Structure 1
Amino acid sequence: MIGRSPAMFAWPRGARDEPHGHASLEEIHNREKIIVIWVIVGLLLIPVLADVLIQWHAVRVVLALIENSPPFRIESLPPDPDAEPFSTRTVDGVTLRGCLYRHTEQTPRGLIVFCPEFASNHRSAMLYCSALARAGFHVLTFDFRNHGDSDSMPGYEPLHWLTHYEIIDLNTVINHVYSQPDLTELPLGLFGISRGGGAALYVAAQRPEVLRVATEGAFGTQMLMMAHARHFVPIAAPPMLARLFPDWHICVTITLARWISQRRRHCRYAMLERVLPRLSDKPALVIAGMRDTYVLPEVAHEIARLIGQPDAVWTVAKAKHNLARSVSPEEYDRRLVEFFLPLDEPHSSTAKRSTQGTRKKPE
């Protein structure tokens, strides 16, 4: 044993190195796999991150559009000494004021509650409703909160978008109607302009007492934003890029911007689109201006489609936003009176009494 060579105790050539050689190859393969996985993940994340950045930029743009009111041409009339003033208080403590135009020459055919447009006041009613007053209807109109003679609510800055505050206001006015013995038996119709038209449609869908509803320039928040997006995305982006953004993607952007705006403005935007199908059994008149560049005519057709009354739309050639009567006053008055005249029919009065018996609390 003493005289043996050290080579006798050595490992065979490669015997010790082989396991280490195999381990190194496996480590290399594992590292390559990890690199490939990260490359794939990176390639997948690049479009996601790009979309997030695009989405955030788009949300900021849409948010600015939401919270900046476009200029509207607002008209009004001097106070009418023959109009009866009234006031009523909302459940959240805001006093609303308006007036009642009585038809005194005969028994009234019905009561029309008129809802003014954003930034207008109740004295604009006779710019639209004078034919209804002459035809034998009482017309009751009011100022939404933070408008005209009504109280202002601290912390709320109204815009042209319909919120739950305007819904509260209109429901409060209708409740006031039913507190007046000389008004409660009259068949009820609603007529609204622009944002007021949206309020009229929304509340008509809530309350069975409302038998007919007419609007001019009305719109839903989501549908109006989508209509403008479909027009402006192809203009703002190259056609190939614009095609990469389907409607659902645009809808997500608008929804995110709306949520942010609600939190900033301490209000909830009323989603008119959700309640319109409830109006399928109530006659509606949806007036639109062919030259309305704000509430596009297609919005009126979308309202009628959701209601289930595609023939409810009357589009007035050459009319801009809320100016249909200025373009075609005789036709406007005739259509409006003919639309509300059925309120005076016996079956309408019967329906009115039956709905009063089953009146439900507005949502």
Structure 2
Amino acid sequence: MSSASLLWWVIPVVVLLILLLIAFTIHCVTRYVPVIARIFEFSPQFRPRIEPTRREGQTVTFPTTGGIQLTGTYLPRRRGSRRVGVAVVCPEYLGNRWGALHYIDWLRDLGFDLFCFDFRNQGESQSDPSYHPLQWVTRHEVADVLAAVAYLDSRPDADPAGYLLFGISRGGGAALGAAAKTKRVWGVVTDGAFPVKETMLVYLKKWANTFVRFRGILPWVPDWFNHLLCRLARWSTSRRLGCRYVNVGRAAARMSPRPWLAIHGQKDQYVPVEVARALAAYASPPRLLHVVPRARHNKAYDVDPQGYRAIIETFLERFAPRLPDDRPHDPHQPARLADSPTPSSHPQVAVPLVTPKTALNPNHDPFAVTSSNPTRQVVDPVEPHSPTTLQPDSNPILTG
């Protein structure tokens, strides 16, 4: 057969395959993207921690984007003549600032001031009538965290060293998004944080068998095509709900090399550990994923409060800009500046950096995932990011 005759056979076959691919794509987009968008907008029956307002601290209001007024409370340290640092507490979806303090209020005993606030459309903060929040982090939540940092910077006792961000679930994603946009954050601690894109992909695979008629084709569908469907669904949802979703993985990469401690429950029924590992893999060292056995979503502190405090305290001993008054001097470690009441009166006195009693990573590998179980210190190494490694597990993936 001549080359010309072969082309007459090959060209129609190639054109037919292209037309079939286009038809398949149009079919999936028109049939399944609306379904994915509806699932994406589904909010599980969360039971967020909501606690009554305390009569302590200084309650303030401060502006955020859209002319919305947020409510927050500044809580001073309980002991120590010198302030060790200031932590901004970002609550979970549907939770309030007082419930978020349940996880971190003990930092005040170490010399930290805390500033907890309510996101827009939550707690005592104003609501934006044009925005319908979900469990996914958007630019609105990131803007609210940045507004909290801007408020702290406007205070006469603003910390010249910057701030620690502590976020729970969606609040953790918002904290990472804010840290990527301002250098006034020196570190981040999250509990149950998750990325939008990767969690949605696992969610899609989990429910695909329910909605796809020809299930035999699912193993042959590449991840890039699933990502395309998810991207279109997010675009549709963002237009309808008046928001833009945050690429939390990209934000985690951009906040490096500032330190990040990610805490996650091994039995998380909403966000499996594989998703947390994928998110942690975006960031460069120093960062650590600490897995708490038997803990469900946002329940790591309740399962192991002693281990929860220990891992955070060790993280702060290594990375906080200052240390409490009662820490011993180690002449072999570099020094850190002591506290100052205002940015304009920065002191020249240094406080030594001590070596933590327990290493942040037992194997001295900043990529490691640790466990609070003393009989199993290292669960698994954090591998470089690879979206194709994410697979649904036996847990119901409802993303929260």
Structure 2 length-normalised TM:
0.74
Taking the aligned partners of 2:60 and 2:337, their CA distance within structure 1 comes to: 27
Match of 2:166 among 183, 191, 203: 191
Partner of 2:255: 279
Partner of 1:248: 224
How far residue 338 of structure 1 moved from its aligned partner, in angstroms, is 2.2
Change (3 A) 1:311 1:166: closer
8 Å CA contact 1:96, 1:150 repeated in 2? yes
**1:207 to 2:182 alignment:** yes
Q: Which moved more, 1:167-176 or 1:221-230?
A: 221-230
Match of 1:128 among 103, 114, 128: 103
Taking the aligned partners of 1:73 and 1:266, their CA distance within structure 2 comes to: 25
Secondary structure of 1:243's counterpart equals helix
Q: Which residue identity is paired with 1:210?
A: V
Q: Indicate the structure (1 or 2) with the bigger Cα radius of gyration.
A: 1
Match of 1:181 among 150, 156, 174: 156
How far residue 231 of structure 1 moved from its aligned partner, in angstroms, is 4.2
8 Å CA contact 2:86, 2:159 repeated in 1? no
**1:220 to 2:195 alignment:** yes
Taking the aligned partners of 2:100 and 2:21, their CA distance within structure 1 comes to: 53
Secondary structure of 1:178's counterpart equals helix
8 Å CA contact 1:301, 1:310 repeated in 2? no
Secondary structure of 1:111's counterpart equals strand
Taking the aligned partners of 1:129 and 1:110, their CA distance within structure 2 comes to: 13
Taking the aligned partners of 1:165 and 1:176, their CA distance within structure 2 comes to: 16
Secondary structure of 1:73's counterpart equals coil
8 Å CA contact 2:36, 2:204 repeated in 1? no
8 Å CA contact 1:189, 1:340 repeated in 2? no
Unaligned runs of 5+ residues in structure 2 are 1-7, 324-334, 347-400
Partner of 2:45: 71
Match of 1:102 among 68, 76, 91: 76
Match of 2:302 among 322, 326, 329: 326
Change (3 A) 1:197 1:62: same
Q: Which moved more, 1:284-293 or 1:231-240?
A: 231-240
Task: Using the aligned pairs only, state the percent identity.
Answer: 33
How far residue 78 of structure 1 moved from its aligned partner, in angstroms, is 2.1
Partner of 2:369: none
Partner of 1:340: 316
Partner of 2:61: 87
Secondary structure of 2:51's counterpart equals coil
Taking the aligned partners of 2:122 and 2:287, their CA distance within structure 1 comes to: 34
Secondary structure of 2:221's counterpart equals coil
Unaligned runs of 5+ residues in structure 1 are 1-33, 357-363
Match of 2:125 among 150, 173, 191: 150
How far residue 126 of structure 1 moved from its aligned partner, in angstroms, is 2.1
Q: Which residue identity is paired with 2:183?
A: P
8 Å CA contact 1:116, 1:122 repeated in 2? yes
Structure 1 length-normalised TM:
0.81
Q: Which moved more, 1:265-274 or 1:137-146?
A: 265-274
Q: Which residue identity is paired with 2:267?
A: R
Deviation by residue 1:286-307 (Cα, 9 ceiling, x = unmatched)? 1111111211111211121100
Match of 1:304 among 255, 272, 280: 280
Larger helix proportion of the pair: 1
Match of 1:118 among 69, 93, 96: 93
Secondary structure of 1:215's counterpart equals strand
